[in-house]
Chains A and B, each alone.
Chain A
């Protein structure tokens, strides 16, 4: 029993609802946004500590005992992601103070940021399948609006595609829930896990599991990523950075939850499919990231590579690899957002996305340049930085379970990441300086502070591995032993 589980959802929701009342008071909204996200961060960190000492925290809404009522579950995995996502939201909010135009800000921009975070936190914390669907929709509707807010031509075009893809996958989500309800007769995740275990996951449930895999793969750009590069290059930087950090990761979270808690009885089929999808995702993402000369396209394809890499951890299905995947997931959320923000600052200065048309920016912007360099190395996984430890664990896990193809592709994908981000760095920052201070389209004033905040988090994740590791290990052991989750939710042992 813990009230802080619901606070993580209620705080952003009511803040967003409050903003609807005074859309023109932008200064007040900025202040309240920062306060709201900081409050979520504080509550989340406190909840982490509670879960660490007292085990999984649940909250039965309305006092109805599960499986009859909706239950919110704060376990280590979801709370770690909530804390990370509130950090990102805080960074992107501060970044948008100077980078988002006043017209956008006056049209409920901050309210929709709050609703987006409501949906994301709700998806992480819910313990009910249909409630997961509803929170996905809360998140997606806010993202539709943030994607098309401003109404530029490219936003409208990307918006149509993005909305269409997500409506279709949401309909499939309803279909999958209908099948699952018909077979098991329950929608509570813990109870589902019990029922599926009792039935021993016959063929029909494996088929439903694969349907869920397809749905969440569309949402998380695992193999079905065709919609992602264009949608993520349409909105302004602060928004696309938030999307890059949060949206696909919620899909990844759902895949992890489904295939560790509910459908873990037939790994020969499900986890093999997941493994091949991860391999294909990494290969195609690597091809895309090498092929383009457009900053946002390169960074978008890097999201896709990282999704493939995180999912290796699940495909290997072994405690060490899962811990590595969780660690890498947290690191990737932070660093991907950071890279999008820095890339957006570069694009703002030059006024173009094309790498060919920029060079020598290190002369006037050394701080920006070296931050980009550190963030790229962290993304690749160079030892003292944050990407290293997660990659190490995932690769070690895949070696231990003799998944040599996963190991090789995972390792080689790092090279593609290194090549593509260094291409941005060397083209953009080295060479002849073409741009004097006067020619720059915008300044980086106010943009570098949130980036420094996020790079601080990334360095902390890298240097302070041992502080974080305790929590990550606990999260992995909770994921690998569904009995802990079921016992916490249903209050009886199986």
Chain B
């Protein structure tokens, strides 16, 4: 199962990298989001995908899934969400100011 996940995460990272290297700002933000998904799935996979009950004591099971990666992922998701929201609003403001979302047009020093 880990092998399959490794391939899936690899695909996520390649798509994200490709999108970050494109010209349109919105695609770049989507790229960071997809890389973020890849990183979080990696955290889940690296914690081990062994069989076990959900980490709730009430289940009374013999074995549980590792709760630590889940807590880390939850934290990282929220942080990721905050930064992405900020980035989207920043991109919107930039679109209003520059009337373009083409990263090539944002280069240079003519606006200073």
Contacts and interface: CB of A to CB of B under 8 A. Distances in A.
A394 B48 CA distance: 44
A148 B82 CA distance: 16
Contacts of B87: 160, 163-164, 167
Contact of B83 (A141, A151, A177): A141
Nearest to A180: B46
A160 B75 contact: no
A175 B47 CA distance: 12
Interface in B76-112: 76, 79, 82-84, 86-87, 90-91, 93-94, 97-98, 106, 111-112
B79 A178 contact: no
Contact of B94 (A137, A157, A175, A181): A157
A134 B75 contact: yes
Contacts of A134: 75, 79
| B43, B69, B111 interface centre (most CB from chain A within 10 Å) | B43
Given A134-B75, A171-B39, A164 B32 contact: yes
B40 A174 contact: yes
B83 A156 contact: no
B43 to A, nearest CB: 4
A174 B43 contact: yes
Given A130-B72, A164-B20, A182-B46, A148 B90 contact: yes
A181 B46 contact: yes
A168 interface: yes
Contacts of A179: 46
Nearest to B2: A182
Contacts of B72: 130, 177
A133 B98 CA distance: 33
A445 interface: no
B39 to A, nearest CB: 4
A153 interface: yes
Interface in B24-72: 25, 28, 32, 35-36, 38-40, 42-43, 45-48, 68-69, 72
Given A177-B43, A178-B39, A167 B90 contact: no
A263 to B, nearest CB: 18
Given A137-B83, A154-B112, A178-B42, A171 B94 contact: no
A170 B28 CA distance: 16
A160 B91 contact: yes
B93 A182 contact: no
Interface in A131-188: 133-134, 137, 140-141, 144-145, 148, 151, 153-154, 156-157, 159-160, 163-164, 167-168, 170-172, 174-175, 177-179, 181-182, 187
A175 B86 contact: no
B86 A141 contact: yes
A171 B36 contact: yes
B36 A160 contact: no
Contacts of B28: 164
Nearest to B110: A153
A151 B93 contact: yes
A319 B29 CA distance: 44
A151 B20 CA distance: 24
B87 to A, nearest CB: 5
Interface in A107-130: 130
Contacts of A153: 97-98, 111-112
Contacts of B47: 178, 181-182
Interface of A: 130, 133-134, 137, 140-141, 144-145, 148, 151, 153-154, 156-157, 159-160, 163-164, 167-168, 170-172, 174-175, 177-179, 181-182, 187
Given A160-B91, A163-B86, 5 more contacts: A153-B98, A171-B32, A171-B35, A181-B47, A182-B47
CB-CB nearest 6 A-B residue pairs = A182-B46, A178-B46, A153-B111, A174-B39, A178-B43, A171-B39
